[in-house]
Amino acid sequence: MKKSLILVPDADPMPVVLPCGNAWDGRADKPQGPVEILVKDRKIAEMGKKVTRPDGAKVIDLSQRIVTPGFIDCHVHMTIPPSNFSRMFTDSQARGFLHAFEPLGKMLMNGFTTVRDVGTSATWNYVTVDLRDAINQGMIAGPRMIVAPHIISSTGGHGDMSGTLSPELWAAMKSSNIADGPDEIQRVVRDEIKGGADWVKCAATGGFFSPTSDPGFSTYTQEELNILVKTAHDQGVPVCVHAYGDEAVKRALNAGVDSIEHGNMASVEALEMMAEKGICIIPTQYTFEDTLTNLDNAAYWAARPPWEFRKIVFYAPAIKTTIKNLAGSRVKIAFGTDAGMFPHEDNWKEFPTMVKNGISPLRALLSATSTAAGLLRRPDLGTLAVGKTADIIAMPGDPFLDINVTGRVDFVMKEGKIYRLP
Ligand SMILES: [Zn+2]
């Protein structure tokens, strides 16, 4: 074992044989029945009725379980302090880094082997880039991270946190994410990429959590979004756009973005545009389930900014309409949760929320496996097949019959390393 705050298994594990009672490969329309998997050198080396058992191979009995590819959450905020959002406005970068340790470990133990962190507006420097690298180097245990360090935003937009921070603090931070007009946008996008961004994230509407913006209105013009996307794409970096209101979703799609984050008030027309262009929506439905079902819970709102409550109440009907329209659409959905806006380890609850909202268990499960891997340009992930990276999880029961089984993951392997045993 390496010495670190959280112990991680050795770098080069022995081959592992997994006799599995049932398996779903991340693509098929149903589980395929019993299968054996041989994992070697961090990859799936063999899969079939019977696989070879190399000398020294560890055999782990999963005959009472279904195995699936490791889950992928495409929308998390790891540096938001668990259960106390307000602290994200005042905590130091070091604290933001430390906040992430525990939730990263918990999410991995729940079967999430990859997450895309889409930044915050109060993120100092490039803390999620450091977290990503620390995980890749085995210093801490967590899902593999793919990161967009900051939320690029207009003045007064979703990323403008000046109402929540002291003027001094805000003056020190704003240069990393506030950009108006083509020149500033180009500079900030290039800073992000230089700082180690895997994705560029921007906010095309206001948000619920930010003090001065409105989620229904656009905060970037078409020209601003066009230059933002072009600047990122010129360097091969994809762009994800936070957008609730319909007009902003359409502008983002016209600008050529790679994913729409939230889209919770998109019209049928905008959803159809997304489907036509093959662009994923990341609908983050559990976070609304969480807020909408807690509307009367005073203790819940005491920990959150008052403006968020007002906005949720106002936009609840529009959100509910889009939930229905999304279920009836043919849009590609990628799993994403906004974890951090609620305790990170509850992110699996997006699965039952999607199903409750009319999305089939298959579409929900695809969203967190092969569809998410496609969005993240990681064809080695999200599927169980020979040659793929060995991100394998197992759970008792069948999530196609009872989606809540996704919350009972008790075997976790990431890149051939075992983190949790039943
Ligand atoms: Zn978010």
Contact between residue 151 and residue 197 where contact means Cβ atoms under 8 Å apart: no
Ligand 1 centroid to residue 244 C-alpha, Å: 11
Ligand 1 centroid to residue 76 C-alpha, Å: 6
Ligand 1 centroid to residue 75 C-alpha, Å: 6
Q: What percent of the chain has pLDDT over 70?
A: 93
Ligand 1 centroid to residue 212 C-alpha, Å: 16
Ligand 1 centroid to residue 60 C-alpha, Å: 37
Predicted pLDDT at 302 = 86
Residue 163 burial (CB count, 10 A)? 13
Q: Distance between CA atoms of 273 and 279, rounded to whole angstroms?
A: 9
Ligand 1 centroid to residue 186 C-alpha, Å: 23
Per residue in 34-50, pLDDT tens?
Answer: 999 999 999 999 999 99
Per residue in 182-200, pLDDT tens?
Answer: 999 999 999 999 999 999 9
Ligand 1 centroid to residue 238 C-alpha, Å: 17
Ligand 1 centroid to residue 242 C-alpha, Å: 7
Ligand 1 centroid to residue 135 C-alpha, Å: 22
Torsion over CA: 378, 116, 171, 308 (sign) = positive
222-234 helix and 246-255 helix, angle to the nearest 10 degrees: 40
Q: Distance between CA atoms of 301 and 322, rounded to whole angstroms?
A: 24
Confidence band for 124, pLDDT divided at 50, 70 and 90: low
Q: What is the pTM for the complete model shown?
A: 0.94
Ligand 1 centroid to residue 391 C-alpha, Å: 25
The helix/strand/coil state of 320 is helix
Ligand 1 centroid to residue 350 C-alpha, Å: 14
Q: Which of 133, 28, 60, 32 is nearest to 418 (CA)?
A: 60
Phi and psi at residue 54, in whole multiples of 5°?
-60, 155
Ligand 1 centroid to residue 153 C-alpha, Å: 13
Q: Which of 23, 20, 14, 113 is nearest to 384 (CA)?
A: 23
Contact between residue 256 and residue 241 where contact means Cβ atoms under 8 Å apart: no
For range 62-90, the mean pLDDT = 87
For range 281-304, the mean pLDDT = 90
Residue 161, CA distances (Å) to 79, 86, 174, 218, 248 in order = 16, 11, 8, 17, 20
For range 300-311, the mean pLDDT = 86
Ligand 1 centroid to residue 342 C-alpha, Å: 11
Ligand 1 centroid to residue 120 C-alpha, Å: 8
Ligand 1 centroid to residue 188 C-alpha, Å: 19
Predicted pLDDT at 260 = 98
Ligand 1 centroid to residue 338 C-alpha, Å: 5
Got the DSSP string for 258-273? SEEEE-TT--HHHHHH
306-327 helix and 285-293 helix, angle to the nearest 10 degrees: 130
Got the DSSP string for 171-240? HHHGGGTB--HHHHHHHHHHHHHHTT-SSEEEESB--SSSSS--TTSB-S-HHHHHHHHHHHHHTT--EE
Ligand 1 centroid to residue 84 C-alpha, Å: 16
Confidence band for 1, pLDDT divided at 50, 70 and 90: very low
Ligand 1 centroid to residue 11 C-alpha, Å: 32
Q: Distance between CA atoms of 335 and 382, rounded to whole angstroms?
A: 12
Contact between residue 179 and residue 121 where contact means Cβ atoms under 8 Å apart: no
Got the DSSP string for 274-301? HHHHT-EEE--HHHHHHHHHTTT-HHHH
Ligand 1 centroid to residue 348 C-alpha, Å: 16
Q: Flag whether pLDDT at 415 surpasses 60.
A: yes
Per residue in 207-219, pLDDT tens?
Answer: 888 878 899 999 9
Q: Distance between CA atoms of 74 and 96, rounded to whole angstroms?
A: 20
Ligand 1 centroid to residue 139 C-alpha, Å: 26
Ligand 1 centroid to residue 395 C-alpha, Å: 28
Contact between residue 74 and residue 372 where contact means Cβ atoms under 8 Å apart: yes
Q: Flag whether pLDDT at 4 surpasses 90.
A: no
Per residue in 340-363, pLDDT tens?
Answer: 989 999 999 999 999 999 999 999
Q: Which domains does the chain have, with CATH numbers?
A: 16-70+382-420 (2.30.40.10), 71-375 (3.20.20.140)
Ligand 1 centroid to residue 77 C-alpha, Å: 7
Ligand 1 centroid to residue 163 C-alpha, Å: 19
Contact between residue 74 and residue 369 where contact means Cβ atoms under 8 Å apart: no
Ligand 1 centroid to residue 282 C-alpha, Å: 10
Ligand 1 centroid to residue 160 C-alpha, Å: 14
Q: Flag whether pLDDT at 176 surpasses 80.
A: no
296-317: burial string, b at 16+ Cβ within 10 Å, e else: eeeeebeebbebbbebbeebee
Ligand 1 centroid to residue 223 C-alpha, Å: 24
Q: Distance between CA atoms of 249 and 179, rounded to whole angstroms?
A: 19
Contact between residue 268 and residue 291 where contact means Cβ atoms under 8 Å apart: no
Contact between residue 119 and residue 147 where contact means Cβ atoms under 8 Å apart: yes
